[in-house]
Amino acid sequence: MSVKPTVLKLGGSVITNKAKTLTPSLPTIERLTKEISRANVSPLVLVHGGGSFGHPLAKRYAIKEGYRKGDASQVLGFCETHQAMVTLNKLVVDVLIQNNIPAVAVSPSSCVVTKSGRISTMMQELLKRLLKNGFVPVLFGDAVLDSDLGFTILSGDQLVAYLAVRLKAARIIMGIDVNGLFTGDPKVDSSEHLINHITLEELRRMLARIGESKVTDVTGGMLGKIAELMPAVEKGIPSLIVNATKPNNLYRALKGERTVGTLIERGEKTVVRKNQGKKI
Ligand code: IP8
């Protein structure tokens, strides 16, 4: 694979109706697929979130917290959570194929093991081969086996950053349901505004101020998203957060055109002189 891939996440809040359990947003999936098709970016890896498919079930059976010995209902809950994600994934992949995108479903529960919630092993060879042959692998946040916890929930966000680093991606694009990262909550203080560009160092200083999503999201909302992206940004992979609920934003982002959103880049490292603590 000579050209570096783009890793694109379609947020669960974008492709499902988060207020209604097991309800997809089919018109949005179709619109986004058309934008992806028009942008014609290759190689491309797609990851989608759980939205109203994975999250309510994961929460009901406390899958993220791990296996409670002897709790057979939780074991079935693992299966139900995974199966809900497979159902959503099938909807997404079907629409992609209908739009001539050579999408292949790759189920994380079949190729990833985590350790205390972090990816410890993943069969990457398969993904590399798929990309080399022009396919678009479509992964998703999933219920996965965990060597410490028995099982857990792997977020699509963790997967995105992991894949971007391992596949030496050119960039990450996160299509979510807000415009990006704000200096604060504009609903509380109207002077708070969207951050168009932020470096890692600026981000670290800001992190404490980012609130967690209020809706059911077992993997941490915006705070979790940003924290997951940071290791990839540290490796020099720029990450762009865009509002994929608004038509053409994703298309523009994929084409590298200017769009409303937040670009997180490594930026220049600030050198701190020893014993003085002064920035130079
Ligand atoms: O929506 C979580 O993935 P995310 C998926 O990317 C499940 O956080 C199964 C809850």
pLDDT in tens, 99-152: 999 999 999 999 999 999 999 999 999 999 999 999 999 999 999 999 999 999
Question: pLDDT value at position 271?
Answer: 44
Q: Nearest Cα to 17, choosing from 56, 58, 61?
A: 56
Sequence-distant (≥ 6) Cβ neighbours of residue 58 within 8 angstroms? 50, 64, 81, 143, 153, 218
pLDDT at position 183 is 79
pLDDT at 91 over 50: yes
Share of the chain above pLDDT 90, in %: 78
Q: With 0.85 as the threshold, say if the pTM is over it.
A: yes
Whole-number Å distance, alpha carbon 273 to ligand 1 midpoint, is 42
The answer to whether 196 touches 262, Cβ cutoff 8 Å, is: yes
Among 63, 142, 146, 213, residue to substitute to test ligand 1 (most atoms within 8 Å of Cβ):
142
* Tokens describing residue 55: 């999250």
Atom of ligand 1 nearest to the CA of 48: 6
Q: Is the CB of 218 under 6 A from ligand 1?
A: yes
Asked whether 157 lines ligand 1 (CB < 6 A), one says yes
Average pLDDT (188-195) is: 82
159 Cβ inside 6 Å of ligand 1: no
Atom of ligand 1 nearest to the CA of 47: 6
For residues 43 and 207, the model is more confident at: 43
Q: Locate tokens 């290791």: which residue?
A: 231
CA angle 154, 158, 160 (to 5 degrees): 120
- Could you give the residue ranges of the DSSP H alpha helices within 99-155? 124-132
Residue having the nearest C-alpha atom to atom 8 of ligand 1 = 155
Task: Give residue 276's pLDDT band: very low, low, confident or very high (50, 70, 90).
Answer: very low
In this predicted structure, the answer to whether residue 273 has a pLDDT above a threshold of 70 is no
pLDDT for the residue numbered 275: 38
- CB of residue 228 inside a 6 A radius of ligand 1: no
Q: What is the pLDDT of residues 38-79, one digit of tens each?
A: 999 999 999 999 999 999 999 999 999 999 999 999 999 999
